[in-house]
Structure 1
Amino acid sequence: MIQNTFNPQSTERISDIPMESPLMGASKLSGLIDRSMILRSLEGMASWLEAATRSAEGVGKCHRMAIYDRSGAVTWMYPNSNSAETISVWLDLADILQRPELKQNAIDYADTLVNDSEKGIYSGPAKDAQGLMWYWTDAGVYSSLYAMRVPAHFMRLHRETGDDRLLAACEMVGKTMVKYQLPSGIVGSGWSPENGWRESGGRVGSRFIYVISTYATLYQLTRDAAYRDAYERAVEALIVMQCEDGSFYQNYDPNTLKVSDTDSSTKCMFFAYIFNALAEAYEVFEDARLLDCAKRLGDFIVNLYYCRGALPYCIGHEILPSDRPEANMAMYECANGLLWLHSLVPDERFKDVGLRLWITGWYNQAEVVDNQDLNGAILIGADTTALKSNDGIPSNRKHLAHDPSRAAKCVLWGMCNHAFASAKLFHSTNLLHEKRVQP
């Protein structure tokens, strides 16, 4: 195991205390959050996603980010976001809000990914890049991470539509994920025409372990033993990468899985990707190793949260300059993973912090119905000490640094995870202390 240099835990682990006698008692938020709040949040999310879609050029596009200035005006960024989670968000919104027309947005989004061979799922002449996803910065790079996340959501949409092109796309993604699985068990970060798979360089983010879900999902689809074998190798990588305290470093050497020489920080934002992968893979295999990993990661998160009163974006002694604009930002994306974990491990701490993270998103969600570009956005401010002039902030992250005219931003990835957590809460029978009420 790799030992994390940052350890907020005391000598006594909270997880060693019997779960039937949690230190915090029952989560107070169980009696405060109700389904009217959840519906209110989801309605806002539908409004923002419609604006993010409407503002993008072309059917099936959706902006990744909105930057708001102090007058409320918006700058939309990165229409080629290629976040497959958006498909499932549209389906959840259509179901819970009883707005079946929203399902068409999921269909359009998937159609664009399938049909655009350059800026969707690559299907051009470069065989090595088949099935990879165009990177959202429009930098001419194809990302394996964004491709990894396609199959689970395409398969869900296929159950709704019967469109076999979705399954064909899944298998194209899967073949590349198996072909380029490294002996270490993971897949490099991506491919470019200039560098090929060397585009990955000497490091890969811990969130790329999401590939455990890709292999599990595709095995469920095809029953091909190659995916089962690839899954086993990826789980072995997961076990090696997890630190003794339950966390994960931000970056690893893709070939050796040693911590990157250039970065020993821990990026808590990546934990949401890891939770999503664990949940999706566990649904297929019910693998005890996955649940053990999730429990240990959950322990780390709740201890850090109770120490700081928030889950920070990035921690550690050596924060990368590129992360400094967001390092102190409070994250809410892990609510979805913690609520899933609580459904399998009835530890009140997991529910408590999951609800705290959910309500953080709810409190920071704008309700400005006369501004369609703003309404429903979960707003995140800027660190006033992170200036555009600071050394090391790359050009494609300068917009995250402090600007006196800028008020806040909203990011699609966070919105998707908040939507998934909201759906869990809405359908739950044990997270909230209220009778089930249909909308």
Structure 2
Amino acid sequence: MPLDVIMPALGMAQDTGVILTWHKSPGDPVSEGDALFEVETDKAAMEVEAQGSGYLTDVTAAAGDEVPVGKVLARISETPEGGGTTPDTSDDQPKKSVGSEDQTDSAIPEGEEVIMPALGMTQDVGLIVAWRKSPGDAVSAADILFEVETDKSVVEVQAGHDGFVAALLAEEGEEAPVGDVIAIISREKPEAPVSRSQRERKAPTTAPPAPSTTKRPAPAPKGSLRPAKPAPSSDSRILASPKARRLALERGLDLSLLAEQGHPQPYHVKDLEVLENLPKAIAPQGSAMTASRCISAEVSSDGFEAFAAWAAKETGLADASALLAAFAGTSLGRENTIVALEAFGETRLYKVRGRRLGNLTEADSDTTPDVRLRDLRFGHLSSIQVGPEDTPVISILTTGTGLKLTLECTAEQMNASTAINLLSDFAGRMEQPLRHLL
């Protein structure tokens, strides 16, 4: 089935885009990810990639043409001949969404239109995940107005205009067509800001005017549609901002645990702190079904011993255990980590706040550690694998040629990439401690 290539919306203030150049000609083969054309708005120029493979056909706009957002420019077809002329979506289509349905409704305030952006070539609709502003709120152009989910990602969308939120024309959990006006931003503070659902907006075209008295019990649509927000948990979808997803992956955090605990979606960066502080018992640490990770590395001990002697002489830091904690905490790749160090039957907690050795302090005994360091250098063990615990554990043992480092954790605590990076970084610091200061 042919894929429509549409003019994307690169910003909320964008109604049209100018085609700078086509990188492919009609009939050319294209692969997914190939640059099809370059488009320019009032703020930027960017390349637009093909969202599928096939042949470029049915091109309806040339270089230099100004094309409305959402209009079909071409198709990606299975054959070079394509399927004939692409239906022309009229130039005023994106603006009709308010004009055809809402201009006749005097309740809709006047102002700048905010449309559902096209975030991909195959996107027809977008799901409103969350509104960050409420009707009547003041906004600046750079403020995040709402979050939209497509089949590939969740994206934060800026307001694009300075002013006040005069109308929200779609509820959270509802889908709106690309190019549809979903909000109005006015210059002056509105006397009666509007909030309504897509269903309410479409009702006048299908429903008789008689039941109009029951059409707008304002709290009812919000209450009834609000459960659509956590609904993704039923089909295993997790709604989260791209930044939250990326940081969760880097930290080895499982966002589904928040959903299991009933924490409301969508998730943002601030929710990762909640996830990190969830009781460890919610992850089935001891069950036979829990996937565990155990990786090891061997390094020379000369580097660390020489560095510990230097640190004691030059900085007054005579506690070698504190150095181990500093190396482990920094290897996690984030600031303000807590390291529990076990040695000689005692446990001490350290707060690591960066690479500077002077920033290392002891933490309260009731603090939950991010990683546990087990110093077994002065024992007789040559290897260890005791299974994952409530937090990732790095064990340090003495071998005939130096030190053996073993990291054990669960798959829920760290993904494979994070675990490998942690142990590799820690091993590098143990073998060449000067890199810790760089």
Could you say which TM-score interval applies, normalised by the shorter chain?
under 0.3
Of structures 1 and 2, the one with the larger relative CO (CA 8 A, separation 6+) is: 1
TM-score by length of 2: 0.24
TM-score by length of 1: 0.24
**Structure number having the greater helix percentage:** 1
